[in-house]
Structure 1
Amino acid sequence: MADVLRDLLDGRWAEVRRGSLELLGKLEPAGELGREEYRAWVLEQMRALAAGGHPLIGFPAEHGGRDDVGGSVVAFEVLGFGDLSLMVKAGVQWGLFGGAVQALGTREHHELLPAIMSMDLPGCFAMTESGHGSDVQNLRTTATYDVEAQEFVVHTPDASARKDYIGSAARDGRMAVVFAQLVTGGTSHGVHAVLVPIRDSSGAPMPGVRIEDCGPKAGLNGVDNGRLWFDGVRVPRSALLDRYGSVSADGEYSSPIEGAGRRFFTMLGTLVRGRISVAGGAGSATKKALTIAIRYGSTRRQFTRPDSGDEVVVLDYLAHQRRLLPALATSYALHFAQEELVSALHDVADDRAQRELESRAAGVKAVSTWHATATIQACREACGGAGYLGENLVAGLKADTDVFTTFEGDNTVLLQLVAKGLLTSYRDHVGDLDPWGMARFVADQVVDVVIERTAARAIIDRLVSGSSDALLDRGWQVRQFEDRERHVLEGLARRLRRATPENAFDVFNTAQDHVLHAARAHVDRVVLEAFVAAVDRCPDPEVSALLDTVCDLYALSTIEADRAWFLEHGRLTAARSKSLTQAVNQLCAGLRPHARRLVDVFGVPEGWLAAPIIG
């Protein structure tokens, strides 16, 4: 059973995943180090990864890579089982810095890729500013073209425009991809990326470049985050990463994409791999925490049974199962959603597929990283005081993953992007409804609700009459997710129809809770469908039956978590809501004997599970 389950989890990139696990297994944890020693250790491990071929996977074959974009994300995910500072540093170097050069540059810039892959050219990705985080389109750093010198002048106009939280800037980076407003002839052409050397070969800051260390952080202290200021720094015209916008010698701007807005979102869309990678890395860290907590819970004993006098293993307590097993089920669901997302990234073929990919990546990243934060905290508590000790690893995972909810996109903003995409699709499907159209729409909605409630009532009636599998009806579960998504989105669309040019901001602002709920309902449905598809393609009946139970737990615990909505909208009665809770309890009890197996197949290398509490 374990081999079949492992094969299913390893999926399309099984060979890459296993090769990356083997490489990670050759590295050893850092142990207790001071900050500067830790940063030096991370840099040393980066060179070991480079020597082992880790960065080659996703880069072009013509420059020594393997042209496997999906494989590069899977390899990055695997690093999440190890040291998370190392994972993030690798993401900065080969995902963000190297990825930007590859995606936004042209042939001349691509000549830098071998040095980037080998770590001969350590770099950083300078997008975020102190005053503008998520609002990238309004960054204030400028890159102004000087016609006479044929150079760009990169400048930080004020304190809020400093580049902030930049990984590898404080210590190791020698070159930065700097995002700035491109100005030629007094006209701004929007945000573009420029290559700017920030240190010379001796490690000293380049003229006009000011560098400051961000200092100690809550976690990830092996990553040298820094701040950058540019005081009229000059770089040659060729420093512009010009795939989507170029400047001629005489200062004329041109682009293959019309419109500054469309050009901006096209450029950012090419960098979606970073967002998908963060979701995968968060998933790996969560799996590691669950592995520790469930293995500990399978051996830790607490209190005695009155009938036998034996001490009880804590994972036998329902309360402990409730902490960990629904989270484990969600990790399985997100694993399969991540696999679909990586395949979509690898296979993306046109603009429509790219837009869908960007929206799905935003949603999965938000849900995966919030899940990591909540689950790792639950694992810390499930391990008691031992979970608070650094030697048992969970506290470090908690500190290191906390920032995942806000880097590569603040999760709240990302879910708003998801909702915007849903509303655009809804508008394209429904159109601008006239009064007659709205009347028909409302009538159809009433009919749909009656149908859904009737179907739900029929299934619950079977439960009340003795059919215990009613809530485990997969069709009912999927309908609940679909119905919630549709109903919430339709209600949001009606609210936003009230907007006029004069009150648009206020209308949207007062509906933000509704916006986020619509996006979350959509992502939950996408994740459930990915899990159902994985169960359907499982070749082994025994494994399929186990996964079916895990999928039931994901579906019902998700409905339970939002049962206020299902109760308020008549999808559940109070009595039926209690039946739902009882079903989740029964599923937890049913999965208890399989918990250790379900985490062991994640394949976290034992060398990276050196927590005394699990032996």
Structure 2
Amino acid sequence: MALDTDQHATTTDRREERAAHRGAPPLTADVAGLRAFLDGPYAEVRDEVRRGLADHASLLDEDVDLSRDELRERVRDIVVGIGGTGQAAHGFPPAHGGGGDIGASVAAFETLAYGDLSVLVKSGVQYGLFGGAVQQLGTARHHDAYLADIVAGRLLGCFAMTETGHGSNVQQLGTVARHDPDTDEIVVTTPDDTARKDYIGNAARDGELAVVFAQLEVGGERRGVHAVLVPIRVDGEPAPGVRIEDCGAKIGLEGVDNGRLWFDDVRVPRDNLLDRFATIDEDGEYRSSIDNPDRRFFTMLGTLVQGRVSVGGAGLGASKVALTIAVRYALRRRQFETEKGEGETLLLDYGMHQRRLLPLLARTYALTAAQEEVARQLHEVFGADTPDADDRARRALESRAAGTKAVTTWHATRAIQEAREACGGAGYLSANRFAALKADTDVFTTFEGDNHVLLQLVAKGLLTDYSSEFEDLDQFGMVRFVAGLAVDTVIERTAAHQLLERIRDVLPGGRDGWDQEAGLLDPDYQLAMLRYREEHQLAGAARRLKAGVDDGGDPGVVFRTVQDHVIGAARSHVDRLVLEAFVARVRALPEGHTREVLTALSDLYALTTIEADRGWFLEHGRLSAPRSKAITREVGAIMRRLRPVARDLVDAFGVPEDVLGAEDLIG
């Protein structure tokens, strides 16, 4: 009987699929409409960057034989030139030569990723990390003294946070900044080699001033990590007490001068402390408006979230370059004759080739919508008119930025690799961009935080619902926090659970049949599936954490045991946010070709996301075997509809021909 039921369900699903697509007209794409969707509210800013990319297209020419020092000099000149044009100034205050628009700054950075990525990263170090730290952590005297020169590229600097012994665990940095009351100076010291500053962009060759993160000591008492401005070069030579070493060859980004820094009791004025959140007064007393040291530390780091948002956008930009090349190659390269003797078949007409590239295209579009949403929130929280962000909004932004950065940079790694393979041996030639794209983006998954660590931050927000204790909780504190609550309380307080409850009541089939009777192309069904997975995994992680502590387990051991469940719940949460952002953007469009194409892309992203985790959905009773098969058939049908507009989909990315390169592949 069960077999008969399955056969009936399968027949029904196939009948519904045929009915859904029998009368569906071929998709027609409007490249301009798709470009407007992708570029969002900053189309003019993006076009300005596109025009400027031609100025450094020569760096992408693999035939140009430059030494490392020559390459670094060329990259530096371009980065300084970007400052001179004002393209790096969008996010800085107008009083210091900026545009006061963080959203425009992120959009410009994302688009710069179409070109040479050494230029992108060095620009990010100079204007995003170094300049951003002075802006966000400093006060008026620092802004007046430095920002105009930083924005214009006249003062090059470093963001000296990471140490050889500490990367993600910034709170335990070893560098010490001790206030000397006798001279009213701050003495910066590297106590051992594990505390040397490592992998610091702009340090090995060009940086003159560094924002150094160190343990501040005042009156013999440690006050936690703070940021201090320290000169590292004078007239091109290392400043007194500063030792500098080149990190040497890297996998990629050879145009960026990463270096190591040691500080041998380097003395700087007390005013060099970036003191937005804490200061040392004239009497040598430490003062802060935030009493709790953990909250002060996390508040300080939270202001630097633009870096994570920007890296995620850069990963998307690189993905768009790779997919543009691969799709255009697949529309040019032919292989194997057809049975009818009509000549060889285009690669993209093969179902497997569509399977390799079109879901990645759909995911790129979805992540672009999600990236725009996090950039919008960044602008709202840290825009020029809101210098002191609402705590809850800031925490929510920090979590969303962390999760979005993780999934976009992982996507970049996967998309670039798949695109390279889809171009066969030709894709292995350096001249065709993939060598640089792979090598230069590989570090994005650990830039601005290791992706797994960032997903732990997302999970902390989900499990604590950004409670008043949020800032104080490390991973062990999070375990203790969850253990002190009834698990149902943890689940019921989550937005995912509340949304799930609402959507179950409105879907076809009601609360019991919502996931079996709703149409596969119903975005409410797709969202509900991802919400259910998120809620269930979050509940499971909470139960495991609580049970481990209730059984007498050490919180650290409990967390390590449950860590994979915690990160799994966070990834599911981000998947849901991405689809939610994409669906909302598409629904806001007027009827027409653009909306129709984007709806198909949204369906493809949603169904391939469910399909990729079909084992979980089957195990938890959210999919029947026939419905799981129906999803795969629907994915195939959507890809066949998208195939005729594939070139339009990548043309809409707007990668300039001058920097796209890969002439051997795309003509």
Q: Please give the TM-score of this superposition, normalised by the length of structure 1.
A: 0.94
Code of the aligned partner of 1:187: E
Code of the aligned partner of 2:252: G
**1:29–1:83 Cα contact (<8 Å) kept:** no
Task: State the match for 2:212 in structure 1.
Answer: 178
Deviations 1:347-405 (A, max 9, x none): 11511111100000000000000000011000010011111111000221011000000
CA distance in 2, matches of 1:407, 1:440: 34
Where in structure 2 are the equivalents of 1:86-485 lying within 5 Å? Answer: 86-110=119-143, 111-201=145-235, 203-348=236-381, 349-425=389-465, 454-459=513-518, 470-485=519-534
CA distance in 2, matches of 1:368, 1:499: 33
CA distance in 2, matches of 1:452, 1:186: 62
Task: State the match for 2:385 in structure 1.
Answer: none
Task: State the match for 1:564 in structure 2.
Answer: 615
CA distance in 2, matches of 1:92, 1:439: 40
Following superposition, the deviation at residue 289 of structure 1 comes to 0.5
Code of the aligned partner of 1:177: V
Following superposition, the deviation at residue 496 of structure 1 comes to 1.2
Task: State the match for 1:54 in structure 2.
Answer: 87
CA distance in 1, matches of 2:92, 2:443: 27
Cα–Cα, structure 1 residues 434 and 306, in superposed 2: closer, same or farther, change >3 Å? closer
**1:127–1:136 Cα contact (<8 Å) kept:** yes
Cα–Cα, structure 1 residues 75 and 425, in superposed 2: closer, same or farther, change >3 Å? same
Task: State the match for 1:497 in structure 2.
Answer: 546
**2:392–2:466 Cα contact (<8 Å) kept:** no
Following superposition, the deviation at residue 337 of structure 1 comes to 0.5
**1:453–1:570 Cα contact (<8 Å) kept:** no
Following superposition, the deviation at residue 430 of structure 1 comes to 11
Q: Of the candidates 32, 47, 63, which is equivalent to residue 3 of structure 1? A: 32
**1:477–1:555 Cα contact (<8 Å) kept:** yes
Bigger mean CA deviation after superposition, 56-65 or 7-16: 7-16
Q: Secondary structure at the match of 2:178?
A: strand
CA distance in 2, matches of 1:103, 1:146: 26
Task: State the match for 1:463 in structure 2.
Answer: none
Task: State the match for 2:41 in structure 1.
Answer: 12
**1:478–1:525 Cα contact (<8 Å) kept:** yes
CA distance in 1, matches of 2:70, 2:630: 55
Q: Which runs of 5+ in 1 are unaligned?
A: 460-469
**1:142–1:182 Cα contact (<8 Å) kept:** yes
Following superposition, the deviation at residue 427 of structure 1 comes to 7.7
CA distance in 1, matches of 2:285, 2:90: 37
Task: State the match for 1:487 in structure 2.
Answer: 536
Code of the aligned partner of 1:197: P
Q: Secondary structure at the match of 2:621?
A: coil
Following superposition, the deviation at residue 439 of structure 1 comes to 13
Q: CA RMSD in A?
A: 2.3
Code of the aligned partner of 2:541: L
Code of the aligned partner of 1:386: A
Deviations 1:562-591 (A, max 9, x none): 111111111112232222112112211211
Q: Which has the higher contact order (CA 8 A, sep 6+)?
A: 2
**2:491–2:538 Cα contact (<8 Å) kept:** no
Following superposition, the deviation at residue 48 of structure 1 comes to 1.9
Cα–Cα, structure 1 residues 435 and 81, in superposed 2: closer, same or farther, change >3 Å? closer
Following superposition, the deviation at residue 77 of structure 1 comes to 0.6
Residue 576 of structure 1 pairs with residue 576 of structure 2? no
Q: Of the candidates 562, 572, 594, which is equivalent to residue 511 of structure 1? A: 562
Bigger mean CA deviation after superposition, 364-373 or 245-254: 245-254
Q: Which runs of 5+ in 2 are unaligned?
A: 1-29, 382-388, 469-480
Cα–Cα, structure 1 residues 437 and 26, in superposed 2: closer, same or farther, change >3 Å? closer
Q: Secondary structure at the match of 1:145?
A: strand
Bigger mean CA deviation after superposition, 591-600 or 428-437: 428-437
Task: State the match for 2:99 in structure 1.
Answer: 66
Bigger mean CA deviation after superposition, 366-375 or 240-249: 240-249
CA distance in 2, matches of 1:521, 1:471: 19
Deviations 1:132-159 (A, max 9, x none): 0000011010000111111111011111
Code of the aligned partner of 2:41: R
**2:91–2:99 Cα contact (<8 Å) kept:** yes
CA distance in 2, matches of 1:311, 1:453: 51
Code of the aligned partner of 1:188: R
**1:452–1:483 Cα contact (<8 Å) kept:** no
Residue 553 of structure 1 pairs with residue 553 of structure 2? no
Task: State the match for 1:462 in structure 2.
Answer: none
Q: Please give the TM-score of this superposition, normalised by the length of structure 2.
A: 0.87
Task: State the match for 1:464 in structure 2.
Answer: none
**1:73–1:280 Cα contact (<8 Å) kept:** yes
Following superposition, the deviation at residue 249 of structure 1 comes to 3.0
Q: Secondary structure at the match of 1:182?
A: strand
Structure 1 residue runs of 4+, over 3 Å off?
A: 426-441, 444-453, 499-502
CA distance in 2, matches of 1:556, 1:98: 42
**2:80–2:154 Cα contact (<8 Å) kept:** no
Q: Percent identity?
A: 57
Code of the aligned partner of 1:246: T
